[in-house]
Amino acid sequence: MAAPPTPWSKNLAEPKVDDSAYVHSFSNLIGDVKVGANVLIAPGTSIRADEGTPFHIGNGSNIQDGVVIHGLEQGRVKGDDDRDYSVWIGEDSCITHLALIHGPAYVGNNCFIGFRSTVFNARVGDGCIVMMHALIQDVEIPPGKYVPSGSVITNQQQADRLPDVQPEDREFAAHVVHINEALAAGYHCANNNACINAIREENTPEQKPTHNQTNGYQSVTNMSLNTDIINQVRSLLRQGCTIGVEHANTRRFKTKSWLSASLNATNEAGILAELGNILNECSGEYVRLIGVDPQAKRRIAEVIIQRPGEAPAPVQASKGNTAKVNSNGNGHAPVSKGNGDLASEIRSLIQGGYSIGVEYADARRFKTKSWLTAPSVKTNSVNEAISTIQGYLADLSGNYVQLVGVDPQAKRRVSQVIIQRPGETASISSNGNGNGKVSYQPSRSNSGSAINSSLSAEAISQVRSLLSQGYQIATEHADIRRFKSKSWQSCSPIKATSESQVISALEACVQDHAGEYVRLIGIDTNAKRRVLEMIIQRPGQTNQATPVTNNNGNSTNVSAYTNTKNGSSSLDANTLAQVRSLLSQGYRIGTEHADVRRFKTKSWQSCSPIDSNNESQVISALQGCLQEHNGEYVRLIGIDTQAKRRVLEAIIQRP
């Protein structure tokens, strides 16, 4: 039908549809829409050029069920014919089920827009593949790029870092186009017996493809590979890495005498097939996947994918699965008991100029790979680093602990290894030169003396970190009135440098000022400045104990910060760690809230702006937003003010 008369559109333009195109009667075409040759417009689509106009749909493209194409009255894109359009869709492109293309928008030739994905105020270059549930907004995607499922691409830096489309992806997109061209022709001749008979004769049994033939995007089946391994292979290939495989029996594993396995394929399907065969041949042995950067000629990933007595769960490896994994694999490659190489790993990282970090997770977080970050090891001394990490191992007994090496120049991880698991307590012995070994003992729950501290494990870790760096520790307190006016008062000075004495002094301040805010201060005495401000007690809040054991396996408490006054959840340790991490990187923090209805439509509203970079003030503002919007969703926002983009969106409260 023609576009309705409006102040901005008075010409009552009607759609122009090529005779070879097929438009289903259950779809809506309104206004100045040009539909090219051999286009299929499936049932339930809505293409309305009644506000933004005109629209162009190129030859051979298909608009599948439930797609919505609309445009704003303001804003245009330049089409391939150098004219202005509200929406331009090129030739041989697929706009799949329930996708939304909202102008101003440009989709180039030979593109694939996946199910429920959205393109708004953006350009998608020729040959791009956008998988399912993705958002493309306010950016230009360069030609030939691959957008994984669930991606949110809202700034140009993200768009420029996207991986390239692989040949099998192009085959898949072309296959979908051919299928829909056949559907368009079939719909056209549905009521013509002569036409139907001709098609039936074309598809005789002799000419039908056999069940074993593939189209380049068919599922790979009957492989003993779980999805993590498949995604790891896919991720390494997309980064241009070479894939290798090594195996070792128990004796060779202990001596690190790995043997290389032959892996000749270069494409994903071939590598996965050969990898499945290697796992079967090396059943009962350790097998690890190797990712090699051919440019730098070094390994960037070593992931153990099979251990004796373990069998990866067989799954069907669909090429539509595009789960994102870290370039280093995040494959949980453990240090074996008694491997004796952790001190060497630490020394190697420090000598290589890499930063060292520690992450930990309980059993639940380990399963979901939701690691928490401990304070980084900021020292160039191998012995000091070993001592600090040994302290973390003691505090985090009963948890998974992994050592992380980070290249500060490239801003990426270069190594990642689990150094402790629940039921083990790891200790590192060193000969003073940074050489040594790691040993494990079973955790004991009823022996030794407990760390009788009311402080959270996070606070104790901060104390240990500050002392190891030579900083002085102090405390301040404030009642609610003084807290609001930021008029903190100092507790008794802490002159001790012993960890136990400092913790004792902190506990005394907490007890003396029960019912008040108490914060921990780290002071650089040489620069005469504060390096840390951390609130360790709040009025009306109690520490819910999460067991964390010491060297002897006895428990202390991890504060979960639960507000007991009104029953509403306040900031947990994970949120506090995220806040601290964002502030340390110079990012600005904001908050947004939404009731259930707005949450479903993603219509978030901003809380009051947070202008401060002071940790305690930011935390106070976050708690204020939580209290004001109790019973709603609240999320934490991290903002890079230089790049003018969001670096974090994390929901910290749910109804």
Which of 66-75, 278-287, 450-459, 507-516 tops mean pLDDT? 66-75
CATH code for residues 457-560: 3.30.190.10
Catalytic: 51? Answer: yes
The pLDDT of residue 192: 65
Interstrand relation of 46-49 and 28-31 (parallel, antiparallel or unpaired): parallel
Residue 225's CB: how many other CB atoms inside 10 A? 24
Inter-CA distances, 66 with 41, 42, 99, 132, Å:
10, 8, 7, 14
Which residue type, as a one-letter code, is found at position 2?
A
Least confident among 83-87, 119-123, 503-507: 503-507
307 pLDDT higher than 90: no
Instruction: Give CA–CA dist 272/276, Å, rounded.
Output: 6
CB 165 within 8 A of CB 128: yes
Mean predicted confidence (pLDDT) in 404-413: 77
pLDDT band at 314 (very low <50, low <70, confident <90, very high): very low
Which runs of consecutive H residues, i.e. helices, occur in 438-567?
Answer: 457-468, 480-484, 499-512
The pLDDT of residue 485: 80
The pLDDT of residue 106: 97
The pLDDT of residue 140: 94
Catalytic residue among 14, 51, 73, 91: 51
Domain positions in the chain are 16-171, 220-317, 342-442, 457-560, 574-653
503 pLDDT higher than 90: no
Q: Which residue has the higher pLDDT, 94 or 210?
A: 94
What's the token pair of residue 321? 């699965």
What's the whole-number average pLDDT of the chain? Answer: 77
Question: Which of the 8 DSSP states describes residue 9?
Answer: B
125 pLDDT higher than 60: yes
Q: Please, how many CA atoms are within 13 Å of residue 171, restricted to the half-sphere of its CB?
A: 10
CB 558 within 8 A of CB 545: yes
Instruction: Give CA–CA dist 623/483, Å, rounded.
Output: 13
Residue 450's CB: how many other CB atoms inside 10 A? 12
The pLDDT of residue 46: 95
Looking at 2.60.40.10, 3.40.50.2000, 3.30.450.20, 3.30.190.10, the CATH number of the domain 220-317 comes to: 3.30.190.10
Least confident among 25-29, 193-197, 230-234, 433-437: 433-437
Which residue(s) pair with 33 in the sheet? 55
Interacting residues of 107 by C-beta distance below 8 A, sequence separation 6+: 88, 89, 90, 93, 95, 101, 113, 119, 124
Q: Which residue has the higher pLDDT, 9 or 625?
A: 625
The pLDDT of residue 83: 93
Instruction: Give CA–CA dist 146/169, Å, rounded.
Output: 9
Mean predicted confidence (pLDDT) in 577-590: 82
Which of 183-197, 336-350, 548-562, 620-634 tops mean pLDDT? 620-634
270 pLDDT higher than 90: no
Q: Which residue has the higher pLDDT, 630 or 408?
A: 630
Domains 457-560 and 574-653 share a fold: yes
Which residue(s) pair with 335 in the sheet? none
- Give 74-132 as a 3 state SS string: CCCEECCCCCEECEEECCCCEECCCCEEEEEEEECCCCEECCCCEEEEEEECCCCEECC
pLDDT band at 357 (very low <50, low <70, confident <90, very high): confident
Fold of 342-442: Ribulose 1,5 Bisphosphate Carboxylase/Oxygenase (3.30.190)
Interacting residues of 180 by C-beta distance below 8 A, sequence separation 6+: 40, 62, 64, 94
pLDDT band at 429 (very low <50, low <70, confident <90, very high): low
Longest dimension (CA), the chain: 98
How much of the chain exceeds pLDDT 70, in percent? 78
> Cα angle vertex 267, ends 417, 307, to 5°?
35
Q: Which residue has the higher pLDDT, 315 or 183?
A: 183
Inter-CA distances, 403 with 373, 420, 474, Å:
10, 9, 30
pLDDT band at 191 (very low <50, low <70, confident <90, very high): low
Interacting residues of 379 by C-beta distance below 8 A, sequence separation 6+: 385, 388, 468, 469
pLDDT tens, residue by residue, 438-494: 444 444 333 333 345 677 777 887 787 778 777 889 999 888 888 888 888 888 888
Q: Please, how many CA atoms are within 13 Å of residue 75, restricted to the half-sphere of its CB?
A: 16
9 pLDDT higher than 50: yes
CB 70 within 8 A of CB 46: yes
* 250-284: b (≥16 Cβ within 10 Å) or e: eeebeeeebeebebeeeebbebbbbbbebbeebee
pLDDT band at 201 (very low <50, low <70, confident <90, very high): low
- Give 398-426 as a 3 state SS string: CCEEEEEEEECCCCEEEEEEEEECCCEEE
Interstrand relation of 40-41 and 62-63 (parallel, antiparallel or unpaired): parallel
pLDDT tens, residue by residue, 524-541: 888 788 877 888 888 875
Q: Which residue carries 């979960």 as its tokens?
A: 560
Which residue(s) pair with 174 in the sheet? none
Mean predicted confidence (pLDDT) in 202-209: 47
- Judged on CB neighbours under 10 Å (0-12, 13-18, 19+), 491 is buried
pLDDT tens, residue by residue, 52-104: 989 999 999 999 999 999 999 888 999 999 999 999 999 999 999 999 999 99
Instruction: Give CA–CA dist 495/472, Å, rounded.
Output: 8
- The domain covering 16-171 belongs, at the CATH homologous superfamily level, to Hexapeptide repeat proteins (2.160.10.10)
Which residue type, as a one-letter code, is found at position 464?
R
Q: Please, how many CA atoms are within 13 Å of residue 425, restricted to the half-sphere of its CB?
A: 16
The pLDDT of residue 277: 83
The pLDDT of residue 76: 92
CB 226 within 8 A of CB 313: yes
Instruction: Give CA–CA dist 549/321, Å, rounded.
Output: 39
What's the token pair of residue 251? 């004796």
36 pLDDT higher than 80: yes
pLDDT band at 43 (very low <50, low <70, confident <90, very high): very high
CATH code for residues 574-653: 3.30.190.10
Mean predicted confidence (pLDDT) in 185-204: 65
pLDDT band at 311 (very low <50, low <70, confident <90, very high): low
Q: How far is CA 326 from the centre of its chain?
A: 8
Interstrand relation of 62-63 and 94-95 (parallel, antiparallel or unpaired): parallel
